[in-house]
Chain A
Amino acid sequence: SQKIEQNSEALNIQEGKTATLTCNYTNYSPAYLQWYRQDPGRGPVFLLLIRENEKEKRKERLKVTFDTTLKQSLFHITASQPADSATYLCALPPRGGGYNKLIFGAGTRLAVHP
């Protein structure tokens, strides 16, 4: 079955540094991959979508890469700020697609310290 792996350990970094989070997936080749941000007690918020034919995508301080050979996506936040502290979720469509459904990883918690 499909599996999404994100580092379960929290990532602690200093303000101003670049945070890099990893999403690995197995068993198929998704047409796209998404990243969401989730704050405690809140619903996820969409950040970026990258398609299988795109190697890299940027939005302000965010950058996402998609390596379909390694079956991996990297999510970067440059010049990180304490306000970036949250859990970041990777999401993929299920094998066979279907009504825009998504499968989510458990997320990686990012803590940015002043």
Chain B
Amino acid sequence: EADIYQTPRYLVIGTGKKITLECSQTMGHDKMYWYQQDPGMELHLIHYSYGVNSTEKGDLSSESTVSRIRTEHFPLTLESARPSHTSQYLCASSESQGTSRKYEQYFGPGTRLTVT
């Protein structure tokens, strides 16, 4: 089982609140990712990081922001939550270049966010 953790697992919060979704991995992976997934739909990449202090937005536009100050930690922040942010947020990581398993992604259990 992958050593990647997300907290909280479930969050119900009111409109306008600031939230931070936590993601940590203990595998020493350089690359980390945030995906958004609605029920029955594809995962959409919203942020990725290829190392400390290096982050970029993904293919799906998102109002969230991320930071990567430490290799193992990749939190996602929403400054002002809205009902349209209601979704499942999945964090993942992958090994560095030069390893045989560099293309595999290891996922956390996800955070189910509901904004009322």
Contacts and interface: CB of A to CB of B under 8 A. Distances in A.
Interface of A: 4, 8, 32, 34, 41-46, 49, 89, 93-94, 99-107
A1 B27 CA distance: 34
B73 interface: no
Interface in B44-70: 45, 48, 50, 58-59
Interface of B: 2, 31, 33, 35, 40-43, 45, 48, 50, 58-59, 90-92, 94, 102-110, 112
Contact of A43 (B58, B103, B104, B107): B107
A33 to B, nearest CB: 10
Contacts, number: 56
B103 A93 contact: yes
A100 B40 contact: no
A91 B110 CA distance: 18
A99 B107 contact: no
A66 B90 CA distance: 27
B104 A34 contact: yes
A100 B103 contact: yes
Contact of B109 (A32, A42, A94, A106): A42
B110 A41 contact: yes
Nearest to A31: B103
7 contacts: A46-B105, A46-B106, A99-B31, A100-B102, A103-B45, A104-B35, A104-B43
Contact of B42 (A34, A49, A100, A104): A104
